[in-house]
Amino acid sequence: MTDVRRNSNSDISNIISDNMRTDNGGLDTYEVPVSEINIITTDNNINKSHSINIYRYKFSERINELLLTFSKIHQYDDRKTFKEAWEIWSEDNKELLDCEMERLKDINYEGDIINKMFKSARYYFRKKTIEKKEPKKRRNYIGAQKEFLDAMDNHISSNIINNSHFKPSDGFNEFCLEPSNKDLLNEEIKRLQTMDIKDVIEIKNKIKKTYKNRYFMLVKKIL
């Protein structure tokens, strides 16, 4: 049995990389887009009978809507024009703003509330995009070939029986390094590439996840 402790994760990545070499010696890869972080503002629902320390005071949903609308109308105003429009808008919405100030004071906000609103309108909502992005289409699930799964099952079953300390992480490394699994592993890598999975790490993680899933499925059957 191969000494798993000597087989690092880089060994497995190298095996997969070797089977993904293109004619020019490079690797086919794709870029993973950076996820966007959305800032979500909600109401502060505070039970006044409890003493709660609040470190971030938020405007109510209604006030946020008003601020966003105002900011978009005056999105391209210079600071002076924006400020003049703000003063008119504040007077027109005085009743709503007074209620909001009362609410924030009730939960112990001690700052300049109108100034906080102005800065939010000028520096946050004015630059906030309101376009809805199309949800990213998820890739269809891609399963493994039956022959490949059978080889994994046989390897796992054999190790579960013969090794009481068997772990799927060690078993996966050993499975990939065994010469008897080389052809099946090569075929699976090439098959995944034809399905537009071309990144070395993604392929490795997908095969590793499949191995772990088969391990837990077999253990559950035994128990």
pLDDT tens for each residue of 11-56: 666 666 665 554 433 333 333 333 322 222 333 443 333 334 444 5
Rounded-to-integer distance, Cα 178 and Cα 101, Å? 70
**Percent of the chain predicted with pLDDT > 70:** 68
pLDDT (tens digit per residue) in 193-220: 888 787 888 888 889 999 999 999 888 7
Structure tokens at 7: 């087989």
pLDDT at 188: 87
Rounded-to-integer distance, Cα 85 and Cα 82, Å? 5
With tokens 């503002």, the residue in question is 41
Q: Is 27 helix (H, G, I), strand (E, B) or coil?
A: strand
Q: Flag whether the pTM goes above 0.75.
A: no
Rounded-to-integer distance, Cα 59 and Cα 53, Å? 17
